[in-house]
A and B are shown apart, each in its own frame.
Chain A
Amino acid sequence: MAETTIQLDILTPLGPKRHGVVVPGVEVPGLLGELGVLPEHVPFITPVVPGVVRFRDGGESVRIAVGAGFLEVTRDNRVVILVERALEVSEIDANKAREDLKRVQADLSHDLGSIDAAEHRKLVTEQGWLEAQIRATQP
């Protein structure tokens, strides 16, 4: 009685993005590299880095840009992705993201010496998040 589907939840502090969607599998940007989760995966926890979550919902393929967080696979065949933010492709303003990314990259390149560690970390996080958004819009 092998399961052929898996239940997916994507939760953020601003409310769930997806709740109890039945999918054949899901691809997630993990800390140790891109990983795919298929049905009957062993219970599993790993951090998620900013990137794109991909899965098929019915006939259409869905891409969602996510921020940092973590992924949990539970014993009852559920995948829970908890991330600090998530945007669907339709919610992303790709042009604005590209402009913001240019600005952030510029700040990062010529301000390296003067900005302190916390500010630098913030910029790097922002860069990762913007890149994730842009990648989500490129099929």
Chain B
Amino acid sequence: MANLKEIRNRITSVKNTRKITSAMSRIAAARLVKAQQAAMGARPYGERLDQVVGSLVASLGSGEGEGEAGEAGAAHPLLLKRSGNGRVVIVHITADRGLAGGFNANLNRAVGNFIRKEREAGNDVVLLTVGKKGRSFFQHSGQRLVRHHDAPTLGDLVVKAKMVAAEVMAMFTGGKEGGDTELPQVDRVYFAYNYFKNVLTQQPKIEVLLPFESREVVNDERVLPVLEPGRDALLGHLLPIAVESRLQQAFFNSIAGEIAARRTAMDSASDNATQLIRELTLFYNRERQAAITKELMEIIGGAEALKG
């Protein structure tokens, strides 16, 4: 028979845990609105930018319009498909902190599978991690990490996207070997993040960042607009912005997703704690009653014996 005092301690401890989880859930709920609005507000900018650059790139491929666009020499360096050393880099975007359900674990697993597939295809994989959870997962598996940044916040997101974009563009267009600012040359750049579908669903996604590919299906009937200055100069101006913008979007999604995942996880943790407390209390009361009954029986038994 379990000790009454033990059960009582257990109940107190679960109650304390519930206090923590429900506080975390409430904090996440308060922050969620802001992060969600930021993620949603950023989408029109990113989508429009993607469309414009996408249609410019598509018009380049079809060879219409000005210049000898069909020639490989005319293409912007960020558009060129490379087949140099078969190395790829993955920008792995996770959170700094855990206790957010499967948020970090799902993405880590997805990236792990992706790395395995790339390796089987004979490619060397390096990682650029954003967020401590991604780094600590791959640190001990012998995976080469080239750079690390802590997870972005709504305040420094724009600056951080600029920094990461500059690093991957440098790696893609040549790289820097040696020294402590080593950035190896790569053929392709991927980025992995949790897409914020809605509060309950975050989808791990791995997409190509460079060479730049247009995402949208471009409407061919579209009249090519007048470009000023010429298309190549315009692409030179817009492509780095588009790369930055894709990272920004990924950061926004990751921040909103982390908070949403934490809220959902902490909510269900609080529910589980409540359930556990109810069961333990029931058990405690039953045990207590059993103890009282037993004592009573002993007293009655003793009295009967004296009478006899």
What is A's interface to B at a CB cutoff of 8 Å?
9, 11-16, 19, 30-32, 42-47, 69-70, 72-75, 80, 82, 84-85
Q: Is the CB of B248 within 8 A of A82?
A: no
Partner of A45, one of B42, B44, B222, B225: B225
Q: Is the CB of A13 within 8 A of B52?
A: no
B58 interfacial contact with A, CB 8 Å: no
Q: Is the CB of B234 within 8 A of A82?
A: no
Q: Is the CB of B45 within 8 A of A11?
A: yes
Nearest Cβ distance between residue B219 and chain A, in whole angstroms? 11
Given A14-B158, A43-B225, A45-B225, 15 extra CB contacts under 8 A: A13-B42, A15-B37, A15-B41, A15-B45, A16-B45, A43-B224, A43-B226, A44-B226, A45-B56, A45-B228, A46-B228, A70-B234, A72-B52, A82-B48, A84-B241
Which residue on chain A has the smallest CB distance to residue B236? A47
Q: Is the CB of A42 within 8 A of B225?
A: yes
B199 interfacial contact with A, CB 8 Å: no
The 8 closest A-B pairs by CB, nearest first: A15-B41, A43-B225, A11-B45, A46-B228, A44-B226, A47-B237, A13-B42, A45-B225
Q: Is the CB of B46 within 8 A of A13?
A: yes
Given A46-B228, A82-B48, A82-B49 in contact, is the A16-B241 Cβ separation under 8 Å?
no
Q: Is the CB of A16 within 8 A of B234?
A: no
Contact pattern, B 147-166, Cβ under 8 Å of A = 1, otherwise 0: 00000000000100000000
Nearest Cβ distance between residue B165 and chain A, in whole angstroms? 12
Nearest Cβ distance between residue B151 and chain A, in whole angstroms? 17
B227 interfacial contact with A, CB 8 Å: yes
Partner of B52, one of A31, A45, A84: A45
Residues of A within 8 A of B226 (CB): 42-45
- Tell me the total A-B contact number using a CB cutoff of 8 A: 74
Q: Is the CB of A14 within 8 A of B44?
A: no
Q: Label chain B's interface by main secondary structure.
A: helix
Nearest Cβ distance between residue B27 and chain A, in whole angstroms? 23
Q: Is the CB of A14 within 8 A of B42?
A: yes
Nearest Cβ distance between residue B307 and chain A, in whole angstroms? 87
Q: Label chain A's interface by main secondary structure.
A: strand
Partner of A11, one of B37, B38, B44: B44
Residues of A within 8 A of B223 (CB): 43, 75
Rounded to whole angstroms, the CA-CA distance of A73 and B237 in the bound complex is 17
Contact pattern, B 203-230, Cβ under 8 Å of A = 1, otherwise 0: 0000000000000000000111111110
Rounded to whole angstroms, the CA-CA distance of A82 and B53 in the bound complex is 12
Rounded to whole angstroms, the CA-CA distance of A85 and B37 in the bound complex is 17
Rounded to whole angstroms, the CA-CA distance of A79 and B126 in the bound complex is 42
Given A45-B225, A75-B223, A84-B158 in contact, is the A13-B237 Cβ separation under 8 Å?
no
B238 interfacial contact with A, CB 8 Å: yes
Q: Is the CB of A13 within 8 A of B158?
A: yes
Rounded to whole angstroms, the CA-CA distance of A39 and B225 in the bound complex is 15
Identify 9 residue pairs between A and B in the complex whose beta-carbon atoms are under 8 Å apart, listed by A's number: A11-B44, A11-B45, A14-B158, A30-B228, A42-B226, A45-B52, A45-B226, A47-B237, A72-B52
Which residue on chain B has the smallest CB distance to residue A75? B223
Rounded to whole angstroms, the CA-CA distance of A74 and B219 in the bound complex is 13
B108 interfacial contact with A, CB 8 Å: no
Contact pattern, B 61-92, Cβ under 8 Å of A = 1, otherwise 0: 00000000000000000000000000000000
Residues of B within 8 A of A43 (CB): 223-226
Rounded to whole angstroms, the CA-CA distance of A85 and B46 in the bound complex is 13
Q: Is the CB of B245 within 8 A of A13?
A: yes
Rounded to whole angstroms, the CA-CA distance of A46 and B225 in the bound complex is 10
Which residues of B in the span 179-222 have a Cβ within 8 Å of any Cβ on A? 222
Residues of B within 8 A of A45 (CB): 52, 56, 225-228, 234
Q: Is the CB of B45 within 8 A of A82?
A: yes
Nearest Cβ distance between residue B192 and chain A, in whole angstroms? 20
Which residues of B in the span 130-172 have a Cβ within 8 Å of any Cβ on A? 158
Given A70-B237, A70-B238, A82-B48 in contact, is the A14-B38 Cβ separation under 8 Å?
yes
